[in-house]
Amino acid sequence: MAAEEVGSVCRASVCLCVLCGLPAAGKSTLARRMHTEWKLHRQAVLHCIEQFLQRSEIQLETPSSSGISIAAWEQCIGALMEPEDLKVDQTPLIFLLDDNFYYPSMRYEVCQLARKHSLGFCQVYLQCDLESCISRNQNRSQPVPTEVILEMVKRLESPNPQKNSWEINSITLNTTGTVSKCDIQRVMELISAALSNPLSLAEDSKEQKEADRLKCANSVVHQADQACRRLISETMKTARENQVPPESMRYLAAELSESKAIFLHNLRKRFLQEVPFIQEEEINVEHVVKRAAENFKQDTKEIVFRIINNDKKA
């Protein structure tokens, strides 16, 4: 395909449509119903799309350092490689990004890419009850561990246009049942609206700062989680060495696990409320995590002290 022809293809309307939700919520099923299937690593996919948008010619080779399989890449660009006379003039390009996208910062990366290239952008949140997700997942050939799904339920933040103005072009589908023709129609109308209203190149600095803060908060909570796990492991080891009874050990483990979950939830909430809109590199993440770990260590001591005292009273 000549460079001039490729240029006309790249100038056609393009839409990046994010499909987000729990594992087995029905994202891949919806994608197949939309005649496209793409489920790969999020960063690799975005890198792949950006290289495609920036290339001066379309090639069958996968973009360098993308991690994308040749079969998946050929499936994505197959229609673009057809002779020009077989295509409808300026046929829109629609990328359905099939991933969990449970944090807004993950979805905002796609929004930024759409802004950079003046593309359409929209989101479809597939809402499915936990029991159905777990049941469907167990029937898969390669199921996701159930504990991963349970953990994701705690972290999942669905699109919230009231909080994030960039998520305004979003809809929610209830996928506990089957995907209906009406659901498909709603998605098509959403994509059509996004194609007609591509994002502006002018970047909203407030949105960018909010995304940076979310990214930083996720980093802090992740590192704090690792530190808390180490403290719990050390606490359990010390309890065993002090011959804490088995029943009390089980109770201690449950108490520490629940305390960690509450602690991390409050840490993230407090971080987002109190930390000003500044770049991640300006925050001493190591210092924040160290202070958080010290606070949790005090919590673990209080829990152990309470359990040991109860054992003595018994």
Annotated domain spans of the chain: 3-202, 206-313
Give the pLDDT confidence of 26-46 residue by residue, as tens digits: 888 888 776 543 333 456 666
pLDDT in the model for residue 37: 35
Q: How confident is the model at residue 280 (pLDDT cuts 50, 70, 90)?
A: very low
* Pairwise pLDDT comparison (235 vs 13), residue with the higher score: 235
> Between β-strands 93-98 and 120-127, what pairing exists: parallel, antiparallel or unpaired?
unpaired
C-alpha 121 chain-centroid distance: 16
Of 60-69, 135-144, 212-221, 269-278, minimum mean pLDDT range? 60-69
Return the structure tokens found at 302. 């209080």
Q: How confident is the model at residue 311 (pLDDT cuts 50, 70, 90)?
A: low
The CA-atom distances, in angstroms, between 131 and each of 102, 176, 201, 203, 299 are 18, 9, 42, 40, 33
Give the pLDDT confidence of 154-164 residue by residue, as tens digits: 889 999 988 88
3-202: CATH architecture: 3-Layer(aba) Sandwich (3.40)
> What is the percent of the chain where pLDDT is above 90?
17
C-alpha 182 chain-centroid distance: 26
The sign one gets for the Cα dihedral 241, 242, 248, 254 is: negative
Amino acid symbol at 125 = Y
Q: Which of 79, 36, 48 is nearest to 187 (CA)?
A: 36
pLDDT at residue 73 is higher than 70: no
pLDDT in the model for residue 29: 83
Which residue(s) pair with 126 in the sheet? 173
For range 94-98, the mean pLDDT: 87
pLDDT in the model for residue 216: 82
Of 41-55, 103-117, 128-142, 183-197, minimum mean pLDDT range? 41-55
Strand extents, DSSP E, the chain: 14-20, 93-98, 120-127, 170-174
Of 16-25, 102-111, 115-124, 206-215, minimum mean pLDDT range? 206-215
CA–CA dist 272, 249 (Å, integer): 35
For range 103-118, the mean pLDDT: 89
DSSP 8-state symbol, 108: H
